[in-house]
Amino acid sequence: MITLLARFFVHEEDSPAEVRERYGMLCGLVGIFLNIILFAGKLFAGRMCHSIAITADAFNNLSDAGSSAVTLVGFRLAGQKPDTEHPFGHGRIEYVSGLIVSAAILIMAVELIRDSVGKIINPQATDFSLVSAGILLASIAVKLYMSYYNRKVGDKLDSAAMRATATDSLSDMAATTVVLIAMLIGHYTGLYIDGWCGVLVGGFIFFAGISAARDTLNPLLGQPPEEDFVRKISELVTGHEGIMGIHDLVVHDYGPGRQMISLHAEVPADADILEIHDLIDRIELELKEKLFCETVIHMDPIVTKDEATGKTRDKVKEIVKGIGEELSIHDFRMVPGPSHTNLIFDVVIPFGFKMEDEDVTKEIQRRIMHEIGENYFAVIQVDKMYVK
């Protein structure tokens, strides 16, 4: 159904932001419609069978309809153009809407568990009917479909909000399956496990909410960019003749499709500065056209024709790798003087490294003086790795 409707509402030739907004609104409208239908059907079945689990599952679908409305509004607001108060756009509203959906899931889970505990304390018989069983089976099929299309669109758009909705639909399907099993067990064995199944359903929903909240909180707090995105940036930049390497890559995420990146590009120190500047401008434009990101590139000159500098740089790299394979250096310079030589460079230390930053720099200095010479002093700037 989504694929069919997308043919009328989504135009792939539009800008990525417009395609994203239209897909989000379409999925939100379909979600509202289907969840309201499921709410009405389950509420009828719950009243008919006197089942707290079915009734609670019905109100869970009603909250899902509200969550779909939040997602719809979130995509609509996220699609607004930048303004004076929000010069980087409103893309992060999509993350906020996903967080609201997660909060609604958690609240519903707690309410369901509370009501189910009451049913455990005061158990009541539930009635079985083929109509109720049919409604639950139809609900399972619908929720499976909703999980599928939300996940598919979420992956297509790289949307945490859509993935949160997909996770919610999958947990709803599992919850409704448990409710159906409880009703069948009660009918054929006389065991009243409606309340226990309600607690189990609440647990499903609660953990789904935690997972969805984590997926939406991470981009809000700031997380490393995807490895594939980093690879594409590196390949595009270093694919140009005259660029020897990159480092200090930082990706600032202002919402899906709204990344700003900064990086240092290593260029030959003896190259013509005007030609290199023109090359950097062209690379920035290419990144915008192909990866839809604004870019600021800093040029780092690298001495390539001084044999002594090259040999010393390679030796320092070997020393640093001896401390930890995860470590690397860049911006290496040699400044000789009458009594000693300064080796100036940055060392990249990943988060969670086995040694403290200060201990790493002291160990590098010790090894340089021992393996290269006592008159070589290391002037080290510590960098962190902001990509995976």
* Domain match, 51 and 74 both: yes
Q: Residue 234 pLDDT more than 70?
A: yes
Last residue of a domain, one of 195, 221, 247: 221
* Domain match, 232 and 357 both: no
pLDDT band per the 50, 70, 90 thresholds, residue 263: very high
pLDDT in tens, 63-111: 777 777 776 777 777 767 777 877 777 777 777 877 877 787 788 788 7
* Domain match, 212 and 247 both: no
* Domain match, 348 and 287 both: no
What is the C-alpha radius of gyration for the chain, rounded to an integer number of angstroms? Answer: 29
Last residue of a domain, one of 168, 200, 221: 221
* Domain match, 165 and 44 both: yes
* Domain match, 237 and 200 both: no
* Domain match, 82 and 200 both: yes
Q: Specify the range with the lowest mean pLDDT, choosing from 14-23, 162-171, 283-292.
A: 14-23
- How many structural domains are present in the chain? 3
pLDDT in tens, 2-61: 666 666 667 666 666 677 777 777 787 888 888 889 888 888 887 777 776 677 778 777
| pLDDT, position 281 | 94
* Domain match, 217 and 322 both: no
* Domain match, 279 and 388 both: no
Last residue of a domain, one of 302, 328, 356: 302
> Is-contact 241 279, C-beta < 8 A?
no
- Whole domain around residue 368: which residue ranges? 306-388
Residue 383 and residue 360: Cα distance in Å, rounded? 12
Cα pseudo-dihedral 215, 221, 223, 229, rounded to 10: 80
* Domain match, 102 and 215 both: yes
CATH (domain of 352): 3.30.70.1350
* Domain match, 58 and 200 both: yes
* Domain match, 281 and 148 both: no
